[in-house]
Amino acid sequence: PPLFRQRYSAVQQILLNENWKSQIKKVVDFGCSELNFFKYLKHLYDVNEIICVDISEDTLIDNLFKVHPLTVDYLKRRPNQLKVDILVGNVSQPDARLLGTDAVIAIELIEHLYPDTLEALPYNIFYYTKPLLAIFTTPNYEFNSLFPDTKSFRHTDHKFEWTREQFQSWALNITTRFPNYTVQFDGIGLGPEGSESVGYCTQVAIFLKHSDEEEQLSEVPRSCREILTMAILN
Ligand code: SAM
């Protein structure tokens, strides 16, 4: 399958890990773009709330049809009701609706962020939202040496592409600042035989929370704007 599908399946498999599967009820997909990961989330039957957030309102509106129930959803009922919210918002700005989130997903998002947004992101996710699990994917710059054009980034909107060392030091710095989290690394998409030394095409960081601090947050604003809220009934 193409790499984007491999990425969706890999992230779905991480969510289905027996160690936390039953604890993942509320999921936020940041930088959800064309809402393509939604159908993978919808099939996780332990999940009962999905919030998709993107900064581009036009992209969300053009793709809203993807969250409406299909005929098959009425034939094969879910064991529980699913609440869906589609929000225009910024991954770096806290929103009260995101509190209580169990898993945060950010597939191919961070490389699109300007430095100020990237710097504010950990604070929103690990201080305010505090999910049990946070999964980030991003291109592995080292893998680009296998492409014909090795000079440019993979996409014109990418602000950076990181080597494994750069990505890991970004992630480990987060666990230093938020010590109730640890991080593990993985990869998706191997190159041809003999190219193993450059690593996988996509790199993945999986943050896991180990304890719940009791710290009370002062009032959390609502920085996102609602585009759609609906319930998919069981
Ligand atoms: N996660 C998507 C997927 O797997 O199908 C792909 C993400 S796409 C490459 C990057 C998305 O991030 C774009 O839709 C863009 O609008 C969004 N984005 C950029 N900056 C953002 C920000 N600060 N907060 C939220 N979304 C942002």
Residue with CA closest to ligand 1 atom 11: 31
Residue with CA closest to ligand 1 atom 13: 33
Provide the Cα torsion 112, 118, 120, 125; round to 10°. Answer: 80
Query: What would the mean pLDDT of 113-132 be, rounded to a whole number?
Result: 97
Which pLDDT score is estimated for 218?
81
Q: Which atom of ligand 1 is nearest to the CA of 90?
A: 24
169 and 191 Cβ atoms separated by less than 8 Å: no
| Residue of 109, 111, 137, 188 best suited for mutating to test ligand 1, as the one with most atoms within 8 Å of CB | 109
Provide the token pair at 101: 């989130």
Distance CA 115, CA 125 (A): 16
Which pLDDT score is estimated for 231?
86
**Per-residue model confidence as pLDDT tens digits over 58-102:** 999 999 999 988 887 778 888 889 999 999 999 999 999 999 999
Sequence-separated (6 or more) residues with CB below 8 Å from residue 134 = 103, 104, 105, 106, 125, 126, 181, 206, 207
Which pLDDT score is estimated for 71?
80
60 and 227 Cβ atoms separated by less than 8 Å: yes
Which pLDDT score is estimated for 72?
79
Q: Which atom of ligand 1 is nearest to the CA of 36?
A: 5
Which pLDDT score is estimated for 171?
98
Distance 76 CA to ligand 1 centre (A): 31
Which pLDDT score is estimated for 47?
97
Q: How many CA atoms lie within 13 A of 102 on its CB side?
A: 15
Which pLDDT score is estimated for 217?
79
Distance CA 88, CA 78 (A): 27
Distance 30 CA to ligand 1 centre (A): 7
Percent of the chain with pLDDT over 90: 82
Which pLDDT score is estimated for 79?
87
91 and 136 Cβ atoms separated by less than 8 Å: no
Q: What is the ipTM of this complex?
A: 0.99
Sequence ranges of the domains in the chain: 3-232
Residue type at position 95: D
Q: Which atom of ligand 1 is nearest to the CA of 4?
A: 4
Q: How many CA atoms lie within 13 A of 228 on its CB side?
A: 21
On the 0-12 / 13-18 / 19+ scale of CB atoms within 10 A, 57 is middle
Asked if residue 215 has pLDDT above 80, the reply is: no
Identify the CATH number of the domain defined by range 3-232.
3.40.50.150
Distance 158 CA to ligand 1 centre (A): 11
**Per-residue model confidence as pLDDT tens digits over 178-213:** 999 999 999 999 999 999 999 999 999 999 999 877
Distance CA 4, CA 154 (A): 14
DSSP 21: G
Residues within a 6 A CB radius of ligand 1? 30-34, 36-37, 53-56, 59, 90-92, 107-109, 112-113, 117
Phi, psi of 55 (to 5 degrees): -80, -15
Residue with CA closest to ligand 1 atom 17: 31
Work out the pLDDT band at 51, boundaries 50, 70, 90.
very high
Residue with CA closest to ligand 1 atom 22: 90
